[in-house]
């Protein structure tokens, strides 16, 4: 495989190595090799013949805030949706987000390519097929310099239509407020919602003999809109 050099490079890897091995003066090597003495001095100081990376040492977005970038990363890692699906889901919350800005953000964090879900692992049993309108609601933590935020994510199991909302805290109130936001954002009827059994969606039992009961306000909204609210099993994601 050929060597990869910077586009403006005036020396090859072999010339750079020769400079590092030579005991001749800078001016002598400059005349022999026909290059600038500063170039000779630069490569003599280095321990490698490879070009250094260009660009900022700590790359960051010029269009996204730190909180918005953290939200993008959390959403991608949580849903593993394709680029365009992520863009469509995040743009209502981040109107200035463009496809190129999203792609660069994912590249900076090393998640521009979705992982091979199957790989060498045995195939998992497929989810039961449901008609469009079966939404799974979950919460992801978003770490920023200002502190911890929470990202509510609602995604249709069949169509992959996704809705997000970033909040300061994840409690019962923000849970049913997100549900109302979800109902307004989805352009078709939702018939089922699946959540975990956390305190945001379900009352916690006082002891082992107490049955699980759901949060009143969240379920009231579901009943009014003829939506079936299902919970995952205790201690199961």
Q: Is the pLDDT of residue 162 over 80?
A: yes
> What is the number of structural domains in the chain?
2
Q: Which residue(s) pair with 194 in the sheet?
A: 136, 230
Is 150 domain-assigned?
A: yes
Both 208 and 108 in one domain: the answer is: yes
Exposure pattern of 182-209 as b/e (b: 16+ CB <10 Å)? bbeebeeebebbbbbbbebbbeeeeeee
Question: Pick the residue with more confidence: 206 or 149?
Answer: 149
3-state helix, strand, coil in the chain (%, to 5): 35, 15, 50
Both 101 and 216 in one domain: the answer is: yes
Name the most confidently modeled range: 38-42, 89-93, 204-208, 225-229.
225-229
DSSP codes joined into one string, 134-184: EEEEEEEEEEETTEEEEEEEEEETTT--EEEEEES--SHHHHHHHHHHHHH
Is 124 domain-assigned?
A: no
The angle formed by the CA atoms of residues 146, 150 and 153, to the nearest 5 degrees, is: 145
Both 20 and 75 in one domain: the answer is: no
Both 183 and 98 in one domain: the answer is: yes
Average pLDDT over residues 154-170: 90
Both 195 and 97 in one domain: the answer is: yes
Q: Is the pLDDT of residue 214 over 60?
A: no
In angstroms, the Cα distances linking 105 to 19, 102, 173 are 39, 5, 31
Structure tokens at 162: 């996704």
Both 84 and 166 in one domain: the answer is: yes
CATH at residue 93: 3.30.420
Q: How confident is the model at residue 154 (pLDDT cuts 50, 70, 90)?
A: very high
Is 226 domain-assigned?
A: yes
Both 41 and 138 in one domain: the answer is: no
Q: Rounded CA gap, 138 and 170, in Å? A: 11
Q: Give the domain extent around 190.
A: 66-114+130-231
pTM value is 0.62
Q: Rounded CA gap, 179 and 129, in Å? A: 23
Both 28 and 144 in one domain: the answer is: no
Question: Pick the residue with more confidence: 49 or 188?
Answer: 188
Decide: 77 and 111 in contact? Cβ < 8 Å: yes
Q: Given this model, what pLDDT does residue 63 score?
A: 82
Residue 193 has phi, psi (to 5 degrees) of -130, 130
Residue 144 has phi, psi (to 5 degrees) of -130, 175
Is 29 domain-assigned?
A: yes
Question: Pick the residue with more confidence: 124 or 222?
Answer: 222
Q: How confident is the model at residue 152 (pLDDT cuts 50, 70, 90)?
A: very high
Let me know how long the chain is.
237
Question: Pick the residue with more confidence: 71 or 205?
Answer: 71
Is 227 domain-assigned?
A: yes
Average pLDDT over residues 18-27: 87
Is 59 domain-assigned?
A: no
Q: Is the pLDDT of residue 126 over 70?
A: no
Q: Is the pLDDT of residue 168 over 80?
A: yes
Structure tokens at 130: 């449901």
Q: Given this model, what pLDDT does residue 1 score?
A: 42
Is 220 domain-assigned?
A: yes
SS3 219: helix
Both 104 and 22 in one domain: the answer is: no
Both 41 and 88 in one domain: the answer is: no
Q: Is the pLDDT of residue 127 over 60?
A: no
Distant-in-sequence, close-in-space partners of 10: CB < 8 Å, separation ≥ 6: 35, 36, 39
Q: Is the pLDDT of residue 145 over 80?
A: no
Q: Given this model, what pLDDT does residue 227 score?
A: 94
Both 30 and 143 in one domain: the answer is: no
Q: Is the pLDDT of residue 100 over 70?
A: yes
Q: Rounded CA gap, 168 and 142, in Å? A: 10
Q: How confident is the model at residue 88 (pLDDT cuts 50, 70, 90)?
A: confident
Is 3 domain-assigned?
A: no
Both 171 and 108 in one domain: the answer is: yes
Q: Is the pLDDT of residue 79 over 80?
A: yes
């Amino acid at each position: 495989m050929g060597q990869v050099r910077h586009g403006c490079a005036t020396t090859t890897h072999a010339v750079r190595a020769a400079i590092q091995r030579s005991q001749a003066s800078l001016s002598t090597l400059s005349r022999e090799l026909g290059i600038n003495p500063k170039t000779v001095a630069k490569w003599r100081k280095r321990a490698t013949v490879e070009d250094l990376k260009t660009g900022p040492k700590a790359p960051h977005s010029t269009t996204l805030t730190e909180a918005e970038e953290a939200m993008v990363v959390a959403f991608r890692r949580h849903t593993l949706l394709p680029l365009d699906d992520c863009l469509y889901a995040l743009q209502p919350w981040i109107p200035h987000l463009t496809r190129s800005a999203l792609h660069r953000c994912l590249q900076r964090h090393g998640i521009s390519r979705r992982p091979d879900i199957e790989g060498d692992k045995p195939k998992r049993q497929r989810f039961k097929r449901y008609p469009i309108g079966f939404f799974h609601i979950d919460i992801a933590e978003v770490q920023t310099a200002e502190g911890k935020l929470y990202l509510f994510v609602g995604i249709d199991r069949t169509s992959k239509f996704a809705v997000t909302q970033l909040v300061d805290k994840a409690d019962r109130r923000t849970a049913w407020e997100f549900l109302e936001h979800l109902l307004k954002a989805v352009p078709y009827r939702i018939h089922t919602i699946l959540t975990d059994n956390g305190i945001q969606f379900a009352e916690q039992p006082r002891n082992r003999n107490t049955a699980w009961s759901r949060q009143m306000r969240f379920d009231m909204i579901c009943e009014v809109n003829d939506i079936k609210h299902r919970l995952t099993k205790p201690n199961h994601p």
